[in-house]
Amino acid sequence: MSAAPLLEVQNLSMRFGGLVAIDDLSFTANRAEITSIIGPNGAGKTTLFNCLTGFYRPSSGRLILHDDAGSHDLERMRGYRIAREAGVARTFQNIRLFPGMTVLENLVVAQHARLMRASVWSIAGILGLASYRRAEDAAAELAGDWLRRIGLLDRADALAGSLPYGAQRRLEIARAMCTEPRLLCLDEPAAGLNPRESAELKEFIRAIRERHAIGILLVEHDMSVVMAISDRVVVLDYGAKIADGPPAAVRADPRVIRAYLGEE
């Protein structure tokens, strides 16, 4: 039985004046699979993530996210609705934690929308109603579970900005997962990691996929990470797709080799 589609990218284009950053791109990412987007610098990978998460509105094309209740046209939604209603979460190339907040606070603040709904937009919180206290307890429990999983429970009260770089990377992924997404978009999570940290990251991403059965979209330059954990790899070059398939087939594709190594 074939895997069920989670995300469909249909004829997506993104232009900035005369610059075509994404050119008529189409691919499908399945549920409970890791789909990697690779390509040389400037290939359009981060632009794709920015379109998916509402930072950019595409020039043309469709971005369809499926769930059990139907589907969402992401290109028509505001960014906050993409996260809240469609269930798309992301991390960034440059870590964007709240460095002046504690490690625990970074994970609780990711659940702000859920807590606000439980508080009836502050009324229940001000009155101290039991329903809001239960929501607070649930948020703290979820945050604590993720702190245990990333090995930072003993650093819960430390400032996020004081953590080592690799720990900050893990914390940022855990913060995204606290929103309980259907699709997790990871933008170069292995950037700046040493080989031991990269190996730990691979196992962490695999564990997320296996435990939560969510789709993961991965942009990454570290091919040891990409080839080890991906179910499917999509290759971009100058905004256009040049390959799409299992890792072994993509790695041997002459077009991919030319895009990365160049040719005379």
Cβ atoms of 6 and 36 within 8 Å: the answer is no
pLDDT exceeds cutoff 60 at 263: no
Centre a 10 Å sphere on the Cβ of residue 256 and count the other Cβ atoms it contains: 19
Position 249 pLDDT exceeds 70:
yes
Q: How confident is the model at residue 98 (pLDDT cuts 50, 70, 90)?
A: very high
Residue 190 CB partners (closer than 8 Å, separation 6+): 197, 198, 201, 220, 221, 222, 225
Strand partners, 88: 183
Share of the chain above pLDDT 70, in %: 90
* Maximal C-alpha separation, the chain: 72
When the pLDDT of each residue in the chain is averaged and rounded to a whole number, the result is 90
Percent of the chain, pLDDT > 90?
80
Give the C-alpha separation, 23 to 43, whole Å.
10
CB 152 within 8 A of CB 11: no
Q: Report the pLDDT value the prediction gives residue 86, as an integer from 0 to 100.
A: 95
Q: What is the pLDDT of residues 32-81, one digit of tens each?
A: 999 999 999 889 999 999 999 999 999 999 999 999 889 999 999 998 89
Total Cβ atoms within 10 A of residue 72: 21
Q: Which residue has the higher pLDDT, 119 or 112?
A: 112
Res. 112: pLDDT tops 90: no
The Cα-based distances of 252 to 220, 225, 255 in angstroms read 18, 17, 9
User: What pLDDT does residue 116 have?
Assistant: 62
pLDDT in tens, 12-40: 999 999 999 999 999 999 999 999 999 99
pLDDT at residue 144, as a whole number? 95
Please say if the pLDDT value at position 260 is more than 70.
Answer: yes
Domains present along the chain, CATH in parentheses: 1-87+181-264 (3.40.50.300), 97-178 (no CATH)
| φ, ψ of residue 163 in degrees (nearest 5) | -75, 155
Taking residues 127-150, report their average pLDDT.
Answer: 82
- Average pLDDT of the segment spanning 249-263: 84
Task: Please report the pLDDT score of residue 129 as a whole number.
Answer: 60
